[in-house]
Structures are given as structure tokens and as C-alpha cells.
Structure 1
Amino acid sequence: MPSSTRRFRAVAVQPRWSAEDFVSADAFRAWMRGQLDMARPHFSPDRPNLVVLTELNGLPLVLCGAGWALGLKTFERVALALFLTRLPQALPVLLREKVSPIRALQLAGSEVNVRLYLHTCRDLAREYGVYLCCGSTPMPRYRLKNGQPVREAGTLTNQTVLLAPDGGLIGVTDKVHLTPDEEAGGVDLTPGELSEMRVFPTPVGDLGVAISLDAFREDVIGRLEAGGCTVLLQPDANGAAWTSKEGLPPDPTDIRDQPVAWLESSWTATTTGKSIRYAVNPMVVGNLLDLSFDGQSAITGRAEDAPEERSYVMTDPRPGFLALTPWVTEGTREELRAVGRQLAAHSSHPRENIYRTDVLHADLELPASTLPAPPRTPHEHALQAILNTPEVASVHRIPSWLLTALAVGFVGMAAFVKGRERGR
């Protein structure tokens, strides 16, 4: 092998999250550090390590400072309660930038939460000495004005940040294709622009990011292939029972088992693609209030790279899986669907929230890159400025007596409305 061959290890972390992991800055740092601690035994001592984390691992930071609200049980109720308690911060954003209440709530907290997220990931990349795909998080777009990052009004995209072992920024990618839960009826994110997707040459591959649904879409994979992507990163948060059926745009009537559908993302990209040789697809699991997330993380390659036949549950074995997390159990389709329902939030079953966590790794090789690094965007220059700042700002706290009063009032209002609805 020539000395210019890139040899590296890819590591995918499948963590279990809960709302309690996001109620304070310390809790979030501990949760993120726990994932790197899980990964550490799998690091290579003699080659660079690429660690890939999961989609939307910064979304629940909207709960930061609001542990009191978790008793409201559902994400929708908690979001409404937070909007009411943070009205002085959120209302001006809503009115000035003409956005929805849920987007205004996220944008109003972004100054603190973006820095918490980026600084936490920066510190972990440095401490563990790894190339880090931070996962993804809802984040505004920024640009520098007089040397300071300034937020673009109204915009909130699902973004993946890539960091080098020194904590420096490699690049940023926005999610282009949003699921219904990410659109106006859900957390209300802004879709990214396909024309802005780029490939980042590094010692751990020519990295292209396709966040979750993007990895299923030919326009995204085609653009990354055209850019020379050799390692596809697919951070994922599948908000459904893994053994249930799904139907997503562009054809929501095309109902298939979730694992069958997932074969059309990373596995297809690596087994049938041109430049894409490997893909890393970590999936978060766990119940977040009333929301349930599940899946099987995987690292895939060409059929000749992984001739052993295996696959997701509910699918036939096949080559192409370099590493794959087993699901929580085996059984018939009916048995697997029943277990998926038992794991889900508020099932009251002994299996509730007993998802499988895991860490996968694979040693990968690629020839030396011939790609030039893409020029930084204004947004990336601004994020690097944020990364260069030394400390995370403290979280503004509302007095506990006010939070309690508002929470009691909200719960009482919800009970009153529910009672009226029952009477109709």
C-alpha cells in the first residue's frame, strides 16, 4: 500500500436519550461526554478516529433550565408552557421575524444553546482527539458583522457540524428534505439548499453529510457523488417504532416496514454508488417525553468489503454491512411489532424504554484525497468565531416561584380545556 493511503477507524454511537439529559448545561455535557466515553474503548491507537453522533441531539436543549416542565408529559404541552414562561424573550422574535411560536421559542434561546452545543462538542473533539461529526441540531444561520456573529432573522435549519481533533471547524451541512415532524406542523425548521451541499476532504475520508431523510433522496446522494464523497455520514433520529410501518414524502402512501425503507439510504448508497465507498449511520434510541425513537445503527460498504450476509430485522440477509447493531430481540413480524409498541413512550409495559444502546466501529481504507477543501461560507466563518470564544454563557433562569405558578396555571388550564372537550 502506498504511504498516502488513508487508514482510519469509523465509530458510530447509538445512545439512549431522555428529557432529563437536557434540563441543564451540566446534564447535556454529561450526556454528550457519556457517548464519547462509550466510544473510547473502540478507538484505534494508531490511526485517526472518526466519531459520528446522532441527528437532532441538540433539539431538546429547548428544555434547558426547565426541568419543572417535564411533568407535563408531552412535548407539545411542554413547548407551550415554555413559550408562556419565556414570553418576554420569544414574543419579540415572533412579531419581529414573523415566525411561528415554536420557532420563536427556539430562536429566542439560540444565543445560549448554540454556544453550549458547539463548545461542548469542541471540547470533546479536543479532549478525545477525534474527528467529530457532532450529530445535528436546530441552529440559526450566522454571519460576521464587525467581527461578531449575527443571527440571520427567522432561519432555523437542521445542521450537522464537523470538527477536527483540535476543535477547529471542518464544515457545516444543512438538512434539505424535512420530515413532516420537522415542518410547520412540528418543530418548524427551515429546509436547507441543495446547491449549498459540499464535500470536505479530511484524513478520515472525503466527508459528505446526508442527515436522515436526505440519505434516501437521489438529488442529495447524486450531488455528494458528483462532489467526490467517499464517506457518507448519516446522523439519524427515527421518531417511530423501528418495527412499525412508515410512509414519508414524496409518496406517503408507499407504506413499508421501517427497516425495509432504511435499506434505501446508506446501504444502497455504498453498495450501488460510484464514489461513495463507506457510510456511517448512527441512530438515537429512547423515549423523549411522549416521543419514541428507535433503529439499528450501521456502518456499510461495498459488497466485497463486507461479504458476510446480515441485515436489519424484517429484511433478508445481504452483504454490505461492515457493522450492525442488533435490534432488541428476534421473532416473527407480529412479535416484533408488539415489542416495538411495548418499548414506546407511555406504554406502561415492563419493556418501556428498554432500547438497545451500542457502539460500532470499522477500520476503513481509502486512497489519498485529490479534492480541494471548499471555501468557507459566511456562516462557517461565524461558527468558527463562536468556537473560538472561551466560555459558554450562563443560562438565564426565571425565579422558581414564577415557574411553579405558571406551571400550575398551565396544568389547570389544560385540565379545564380537556374537561370542556369531554363535555362536547
Structure 2
Amino acid sequence: MSKGTLAVAAGLAATLLAGCGQSSTPVATPVTPPTFERPTLAECAALRPARWQAATGTAQAGARLRAVALQYKQEIRHVGDYAAFRRKMRCLMEEHVVPVMRPGLPTLVVFNEDAGLMTIATGSRGALVRAQAQTPLRAPTGDALPLGILGALGLLNTAYLPQVLAYQLRFPLTDPRKQVFLAATDTFARAFSQTFSDIARDYGVYVVASNNQAPYRASRDPLEIALFKDPDLADVDEVYVATSNHVANVTFLWGPRDLHPDAPRGETNLLFANQKVPLTDIELNVLGLDEGPATGEAGLANAAGVEVEGFRLGFATSLPAFQWGYEFGRRPAGFEPCADIPASYMPCMDALGVDVVIQAEANPGRWAAHYAGGWQPLEWMNSTWRTVAEPTVGFRYNITAHLVGNLLDLAFDGQSAITERAAQAPLRHYVGNLEFEPGVDVDWYQAFQGGKPEFLELAPWVTADAPRTALLATGAQLAPGSGDALENDYLETAVWADLTR
């Protein structure tokens, strides 16, 4: 990719946005943020899940940016109302980010994919779904067709019916599978966008988080306020109205300063928005979401990312981080990395100059389990680790932040990590990756086996590493509907590391 094409892609990214020596301890006195709405340590301790660990990290000489990957354990109690979600997200900051912030060193905080998904069940409209989440109406395995999720979407379609009907009139033939996400635009703007926008500004950090939502505008029209306002909010002077029925899985990046004074709340400090492409089967066939741009100038702009503190951040939200187009180290002669962006998303980002890959994750399914690619943690090396070990690209870092916790009949699990090319950190590995099972694991995944020095930091799993048979049993105990004492007992934590040039 020529420098001219890169410049074009960078400019198009702005246009796309406008349309929508190592150490294990911090090396300086933590930052004390200015006075603003901050939960107390007692409030935050009460919101911790049963399994919790303070952030661990790696400081490096010559640091230009400190990155923190949050491993949030989603719980239905955090979305009872807007204040509950806002408080929990700020507690993640207070407990995992503020203690490791360093004066004079910019901080990048990576929240998870689908960080805002649960907020659709905020308030009275989500009461039945929140109640459902506390009942035995969960699948015994959590890995099959998510019938509980489908049932919850049905309840939410009824709860948001006035908004569903209003948007169907505005955007005829909207796919009924995604219509409730469109109907929840005002909720998402208040609960998700404004929460993370405010966190970035208040704490003076860069913030990454993602959600399934449509682009929106602010409206003070009395008729639109009547149509789209949250019935729990007695007095509002504006509502947030979708400007399109395009509902994508969007990963947003907010900065510490306002740059767009005319933008609606939640977007005045927005720096970039990446739309996920390709999408997973659940996103396409269950939720009916729209893929991000896959071709032409818009596709290049979406993949090119954005410059932050001397780094070019690119966004590969889960599945795109696995899209290479060839096996490890076996790039075909004459390969055109951006000829088919969804199929070779990672080499395309590299060709566009990305050096830091942000991999926000909400991995549906058990972590310790076998899937089509064999042992899942071994398959996962094809993203987080391969980013910085693949010899045919030049990425410097990968930051992977996993969402964990059961959502109705779907489990979400993983081990958050930060990797660096040519690092010489202590050897680390995902659970179960000291083994390789011929005939089960993909043959060329043998390169992924064993401990790797590229892991600057790696979050532990629920248990220490063990033979895969034992890990499989633990995964079954964690899964929705298991009835075991370990059900839904995932680890909330964070990992951090310094990025250097």
C-alpha cells in the first residue's frame, strides 16, 4: 500500500467518523484525577463479583502510552438504571486504571466488545428481562442456539413497542431481528455513549468500548421527545434519535478533550468509530446486524484506524482479528492484502500502517472447550499472539480485553492479554495450550503451542492450568444452567502495559 493510499485512507477515516527494562509494578506516583463524580471505594467493593483480582502490569522504559485492558464481568444488577451502569464503569476505572496511571504518560483504556449490550435492559422496559436472567430459564450448556437470548429479545420488542413502530414508519422494511436495537437508540446514547464519553473526559484518558447501535442525533422537537423518550425519565429536554436503520457492531474511541462542540452528547470527544466486518453467525443470523464497509474507500477508512499519541490504532473486534487469508507464515506470492478486506482484514490493516491492534472481545461460548478449530485457547493464538508473531506483517502490539460472564443462556469467557512483537517477557500461555491433539487441533496450530515471550501480560483463568480434561470440566461448571457452585463465577480483572517506540 503506497503512502498516498495511506493518506487517503486516513482522510477517509475522518470523513467516516463525521458521518457517524520490564517491571511488574508501576514506576511512578499514580495520577489523582480532578474532582468529578467518583464512586467511593466502599461502593466499588460492593459491586465486585465474587472472583476479582487487582490489575497486573508491565512498565517499560521509553513508554509513550500506557494501555489498560479491562476484563469486565457482566452482571444484570449493573443495568437496573442509568446510574447503576455509570457507577460500575467508573468503579472499573477507580479500581483498575487510576492506581496505575502515571503523570505525564497518556493512558488508553480498552473496555470490551458489547460493553453496552446489557444496557438495553435498563429501567422498567428491561424489568422482565432482568427478572428472566435470575431464573432457571437458562440453557443447560449455553453453547447451542441461544433460545434465552431470543426470548429476551421478544420481551424487549414488546417493551420498546412504541419506538419499534415509530422507527418502522421512518425506515420501512427494517429487519425485525435488529429493530429493538434501533428502538433503543435513546437508551444506548444515554447509558453507553454518554457514560464512556464522560469517563474519557473526566479521567483525562483515551477510552475504547463497543456496542450494537445506530448513528444518532439530538432532538428537542416535542413530538420526537414524546415518541422516543424513556418513560422512566419524567423531564427531558432532548432525546437521541437514530438517523439511519444501519445497526452495526461499532467500536468507539473517545479522547480526553472535546473536539466537536456541535455533536450530540456522547460524541463531542469522539475520535473514531470502527464498524465490525465480518460479523459472526450470531450477529448476522440471530441479531440481524449490519456489517461494516467491506470495499472501496469506506472499507479502507474503516480498517485504517486513527493516530493516537504517535501510534496508529486499528480495530479488530473479535472475528476480524482472525481474518488473515493464509496460514501462519505462509503468505502467498503476489498476495493483495486489501483486495478482499473481510477475508484478509489483518494484513490489510498492516498495509494501511496500523501498528497497535485493539481487539475488544465478547467471545460467546465456553473458553475451555473444543470447537471446529479444536481447542479454543489454542485457536485464539491466531489473533492476539499471531498479531505480533506473524512474520509477514509488522504490527507492534495487540491489546485484547475480554468480556466475561453468563448472559442468559450464553457464556462469555476468555483471558485478556497484551502482546508485543519481539518481547522477551516470561513465557506465558493460555490454559490448555501446553497440549496439542492431532486430529482435533488444526495441524498448523502447532506453531501456537507452548509458552510465548510475546505476552507482556496475560490474565489468569478461573483455575490454574491443568490437563484439558480437567479444564473442560471447569468450563462446564461455569456455563449457564450448570447448577454448580462455580456457575457464572468468572474472574474480573485487568492487565496493563507500556507501549514504546
Letter aligned with residue 374 of structure 2: R
Could you say which residue in structure 1 is the equivalent of 2:255?
164
Q: What CA distance in whole angstroms lies between the structure 2 residues aligned with 1:257 and 1:335?
A: 13
Could you say which residue in structure 1 is the equivalent of 2:376?
258
| Cα distance, 1:287–1:150 mapped onto 2, change above 3 Å | closer
Could you say which residue in structure 2 is the equivalent of 1:280?
399
1:354 aligns with 2:489: yes
Deviations 1:326-371 (A, max 9, x none): 11113211110010110112211011111112111111112xxxxx
Could you say which residue in structure 1 is the equivalent of 2:118?
60
| Cα distance, 1:343–1:149 mapped onto 2, change above 3 Å | closer
Letter aligned with residue 188 of structure 1: G
**CA-CA distance at 1:310 after TM superposition:** 1.3
Task: Please point out which of 332, 336, 360 is paired with 2:467.
Answer: 332
Q: What CA distance in whole angstroms lies between the structure 2 residues aligned with 1:29 and 1:174?
A: 24
Structure 2 unmatched ranges of 5 or more: 1-61, 134-147, 220-238, 259-268, 325-343, 434-449
Letter aligned with residue 243 of structure 1: A
Q: Normalising to structure 2: TM-score of the pair?
A: 0.66
Q: What CA distance in whole angstroms lies between the structure 1 residues aligned with 2:370 and 2:98?
A: 35
Q: What CA distance in whole angstroms lies between the structure 1 residues aligned with 2:491 and 2:321?
A: 23
Structure with more helix by fraction? 1
**CA-CA distance at 1:63 after TM superposition:** 0.7
**CA-CA distance at 1:152 after TM superposition:** 4.1
Letter aligned with residue 215 of structure 2: R
1:70 aligns with 2:106: no
Say if 2:305 and 2:314, in contact at 8 Å, map to a contact too.
yes
Could you say which residue in structure 1 is the equivalent of 2:223?
none
Task: Please point out which of 405, 415, 431 is paired with 1:313.
Answer: 431
| Cα distance, 1:117–1:211 mapped onto 2, change above 3 Å | same
Q: What CA distance in whole angstroms lies between the structure 1 residues aligned with 2:395 and 2:98?
A: 26
1:217 aligns with 2:358: no
Say if 1:12 and 1:359, in contact at 8 Å, map to a contact too.
yes
Q: What CA distance in whole angstroms lies between the structure 1 residues aligned with 2:181 and 2:72?
A: 24
| Cα distance, 1:144–1:289 mapped onto 2, change above 3 Å | closer
Say if 1:70 and 1:289, in contact at 8 Å, map to a contact too.
no
Q: Normalising to structure 1: TM-score of the pair?
A: 0.78
Could you say which residue in structure 1 is the equivalent of 2:222?
none
Task: Please point out which of 165, 178, 193 is paired with 2:293.
Answer: 193
Letter aligned with residue 212 of structure 2: P
1:137-176 matched pairs, under 5 angstroms: 137-141=211-215, 151-166=242-257, 168-176=269-277
Task: Please point out which of 66, 82, 92 is paired with 1:9.
Answer: 66
Say if 1:97 and 1:153, in contact at 8 Å, map to a contact too.
no
Q: What CA distance in whole angstroms lies between the structure 1 residues aligned with 2:371 and 2:310?
A: 34
Say if 2:304 and 2:353, in contact at 8 Å, map to a contact too.
no
Deviations 1:294-352 (A, max 9, x none): 100000011x3234221111112122101001111132111100101101122110111
**CA-CA distance at 1:150 after TM superposition:** 6.6
Say if 1:174 and 1:192, in contact at 8 Å, map to a contact too.
yes
Say if 2:120 and 2:187, in contact at 8 Å, map to a contact too.
no
Q: What CA distance in whole angstroms lies between the structure 2 residues aligned with 1:306 and 1:177?
A: 33
Structure 1 unmatched ranges of 5 or more: 248-254, 367-424
Letter aligned with residue 70 of structure 1: R
Q: What is the root-mean-square deviation in Å for CA atoms of aligned residues?
A: 2.2
Task: Please point out which of 337, 342, 367 is paired with 1:242.
Answer: 367
Say if 1:270 and 1:277, in contact at 8 Å, map to a contact too.
yes
**CA-CA distance at 1:141 after TM superposition:** 3.4
Deviations 1:222-250 (A, max 9, x none): 22111111111000011111001223xxx
Could you say which residue in structure 1 is the equivalent of 2:210?
136
Could you say which residue in structure 1 is the equivalent of 2:385?
267
Task: Please point out which of 21, 33, 39 is paired with 2:97.
Answer: 39
**CA-CA distance at 1:200 after TM superposition:** 0.9
**CA-CA distance at 1:143 after TM superposition:** 7.8
| Cα distance, 1:143–1:85 mapped onto 2, change above 3 Å | closer
